[in-house]
Amino acid sequence: KKQTQFMAFWLVPFGFFAGIGFSVLTGLDTFAWAGKIGNHIIGGLLGAVAGAMGSLFVGGGVGLLIGSGDALPYRNRLNAGKYLIVVQGSEILTRQATRVLRQFEPENIQGYAAPGEQ
């Protein structure tokens, strides 16, 4: 989520100005009813929308929207014959589990907090 927001912070304004620049450089009269200035503003708005979509797709926001998150990497690891161990409980319990699991030198250990616990 943070990466998507960070990318949107840069890509939306950049897309807006790129859209205006494209409209000015090409001189296209796509929306005749809007006039010359209106076409440039609409071009900027469409560029901003494109920037927002770029930040959503590249920043990993699609996984947040449809709920897949880390599902694909986990599925790939399971398909490769690796194990997935989930520990849910108090912070003390998860620390104990982490200590025990580290003895076996796992490929990866990730911790997540429930949305209400952050």
Q: Is the pLDDT of residue 64 over 80?
A: no
Q: How far is the C-alpha of 111 from the C-alpha of 118, rounded, in Å?
A: 12
Q: How far is the C-alpha of 114 from the C-alpha of 39, rounded, in Å?
A: 46
Predicted pLDDT at 3: 72
Q: How far is the C-alpha of 97 from the C-alpha of 100, rounded, in Å?
A: 5
Which residues, other chains included, contact 4 with Cβ-Cβ below 8 Å and sequence gap of 6+?
55, 56, 59, 60, 61, 64
Predicted pLDDT at 30: 83
Tell me the mean pLDDT in the region 28-38. Answer: 88
Predicted pLDDT at 109: 83
Domain boundaries, the chain: 2-66, 71-111
Predicted pLDDT at 100: 92
pLDDT in tens, 80-116: 888 888 888 888 988 899 999 999 888 888 887 776 6
Q: Is the pLDDT of residue 62 over 60?
A: no
For residues 52 and 8, is the Cβ–Cβ distance under 8 A? yes
Eight-state DSSP code of residue 72: H
The amino acid that residue 49 corresponds to is V
